[in-house]
Each structure stands twice: as structure tokens, then as C-alpha cells.
A and B are shown apart, each in its own frame.
Chain A
């Protein structure tokens, strides 16, 4: 299994990369860490005419906080995000989700932005960023624009990114860091694509009533899903066992997964409900425990 032949371009700036994309159009494909793309090339599921290698663009490798946002450059290695103290402090949900991605050996190479633009519906980074209400910054030869992650995913492996555009960075709001968070997923063995994954961020008030919540589910549709019903159901309430059951049922009622070789539709629905309950419960307990500490 070897890739088909392609022309190779290595730009030294983002602007140069954008020019190449403009020039080659659909024929040009960006490669960064290559942990999703190279298997596809090796199996010849895709045979692009030209690869534009942006993996060396240092200007897109950073994790920094500016104002009320945490900025993560698209080419930052997943492993660097995983080990970042700033990420752990500002977005503990992301820090919890990252070790589920592939293996240490692929996270060493795979980029944060690469996982996002690949847009696998079971991927951990898209699911977490949807829960965290993040935004992405996109650049082309003509403009730089920002899109909410909520509007970024279109369908399987398809995003709002145009063929002439590059993902520059991800912005995660940090004005208010939820005390409650949880990321959990089920896969047949560690490192496999998840059958179902779930992420939750949640806060409680002084009386331990839920003040805010976002619950997202992966592997249950063509894109990561925000379980909106849950919010209306549990806001202002304490999370009792009966409410937890009702909320997880509501989360699973929202979705319409497809069955495939790996799991039937019924099994995915079952897992979605189980994992919705698990992340809600964990996030709630963490929020209750954390409400006394700091602000």
C-alpha cells in the first residue's frame, strides 16, 4: 500500500499556502500531521494531484490566552495540547478528551486543527469544541473569517471550509470556566473510533441547582450533536436520579443514529442514553464539589 504519485509543495508562510490553494483549487490538498490523510493516501481512497505541506508552518503552532479567549493554533500537535497546563486550567474538558484520540504515537504527530477539519463524526476534538461554544478562524487568499463551531460541521467529513481556505486557529471562550465537565466514550478497544462519545459542561448555583449546561453526543449522526432538549429540562433543577434518567432519555430522543458494521442503531441509541447520563452525572458532581472553590 503506497500513495499514488503527487506533486509536492511546501509553502513557508500561510499566505503562500493560500496562494497555492487558489492556484490548484480542488486538485490541491493540504497535509499537516497526516494522521488521517496518509492512511487515506496509502489505501488510495484519495489520489490528490498535489499535496501542500503546511506541517512546518511554525506561525500556526501556539496555545495562548488573550482577553477572554484561549487560542490554539491549528498546527499545534494534539500531544502538546494534551500536556498544556494552560489547557488543563482553562478548558479541563478538552484536557480530559484528548487522551481518547488514537494513541500517544499518533497524537505526537496529529494536529489539533487537522482533527477538526477532517470532521469524523466520532472525533473527540469536534465534540468537545461544540460543548465549549468555540469558534474557528479561517483564512483564504482574500479574507480571514470566523465561524462558530456550531455552524462549522456540515456532514460526514465535510465542513464549512472551502477548497481555497485554511483553518488558522480555534478560539475557546474562557470568561467563564464551567466547574462541571466530563468527557467519556465507548469504543471496542482503546484508540479505536468511538461508537458513541459524550461531552458535558455544567455549572450550578449556590443551591446546587443547574445554572448552565451543554451536552454533546458523537457517533450518533453525521456531525456532532448538541442535545438541546436537555437544557430546558434540567435548568434550575437539582440533578436527582429521576431527573438524570429523564434527561438522558431526552438526549437520546433527540438523535437518529444509523446502524453500521460496528454497532446497530438500537445499540447506539442505548449507548447514547447511558453515556449522556454518565457525563451529566460526573459533570454535576464536579460542579457541586467545585462551587465552593475560587469564583
Chain B
């Protein structure tokens, strides 16, 4: 297969269960493809050289930097972005936990961290704080100090272990942090 620089290639792949076929230049990054061609701006673009982790998405189930992959390299791949996490209007358990544990402030880094956490929890049934911190070392968050993020990931892991992951959002628990315990 050969594509000249000035040509556009008809790229087919799947994002969040939906098939896309778009015309792309060979040099287009996957992060830009998702934002500009698919209109999925939940994937954030920070440093564009693989340091900040904001653009992390799942490619065939694995968390990777979408700014370090050419879109054309992802031909035929099955991609999940942060828009693919919520199901039927209900947030993903991780999204819920992030809300409950105050694991985000400005939210710029959050989509990437959520995607890494999805893969992390699939491969780590009972993670320790250190393992979570190790996974998060690939993400820069300048607001939270990470404590809330570690707690949120830990919380989902704990609930999964106890088999009580709730499938729907719970508005009461979201407020629980601001309510002082009596």
C-alpha cells in the first residue's frame, strides 16, 4: 500500500462502536483525526509528544497515546474514547467515582486518565496504591495533586471486588463529600 504526501487516503476504523470512513493525509495524527474528523473532542491534546497523557485512548483495548500514532496506522482498529464510556446516559463506574472523590478540577487531563484507568482495572483486579500511582505516572494533572484520582480508581477496584459496582449514577453520593460526617 502506497499513499503520496498530497493524496488523501480513505481511512476506515471503528470508534466507540461506530464505523467511520474519512479522507486523511498520511501525516494526520490519530488525536487530530478523532477531534477533527470524527468530531470527538473529548480526547484532549496537550503536549503532542507523548508526555502529558491527555490524549490517551484505547486502541484494540489498550491504552495508548493518540498523539504518537498516525491515524493511518490505526486502519481497521477498534478505538474507544472517553465519549464511549457512558452507556445509555449512565456514567461509567469510573466516571462516577471521579465525581464522588473529587478526582478532577479543570478536567483537561481527565479523559486520558479515565481511559488508562479502564485498561488498568481490566488487568489489575486488586491494585495497591503504588500500582495505581505507577499507572498515573503517565499522566500530568496540575490541579488535584492526584490524591482524589488514586482514591477514585481504588474505589472502583474495591467495589468491583465486593461485586457491588452500581450501574447508574447516584446523585446523593456525588454530594456526600461536601456533607460533613456527623
Contact = CB atoms under 8 A, between A and B. Distances in A.
Interface of A: 1-10, 12, 31, 34-35, 38-39, 41-43, 51, 53, 55, 79, 99, 102-106, 108-109, 189-191
A8 B51 CA distance: 25
Contacts of B1: 9-10, 12
Contacts, number: 108
Interface string B1-35: 11111100100000000000000011101001000
Contacts of B156: none
B26 A51 contact: yes
A104 B138 contact: yes
Contact of B25 (A5, A41, A105): A5
Contacts of A2: 27, 29, 32, 48
Nearest to B53: A105
B116 A104 contact: yes
A271 B69 CA distance: 35
A38 B29 CA distance: 9
B139 to A, nearest CB: 8
B135 interface: yes
Contact of A105 (B6, B72, B138): B138
Interface residues of B, number: 35
B65 A105 contact: yes
B29 A109 contact: no
B68 to A, nearest CB: 4
A4 B50 contact: no
Nearest to A35: B68
A5 B63 contact: no
B64 interface: yes
Q: Which 4 A-B pairs have the closest CB atoms?
A: A103-B138, A8-B26, A39-B49, A5-B5
A38 B26 contact: no
Contacts of A42: 29, 48-49, 67
B160 to A, nearest CB: 19
A189 B137 CA distance: 8
Contacts of B40: none
B150 to A, nearest CB: 14
A123 to B, nearest CB: 15
Given A6-B5, A43-B49, A109 B64 contact: yes
A39 B3 contact: no
Nearest to B74: A55
A38 B1 CA distance: 20
Contacts of A79: 62
Interface in B113-139: 116, 119-120, 134-135, 137-138
Given A2-B27, A105-B56, A106-B68, A34 B73 contact: yes
B65 A7 contact: no
B11 to A, nearest CB: 11
A53 B5 CA distance: 14
Contacts of B53: 103, 105
B113 to A, nearest CB: 10
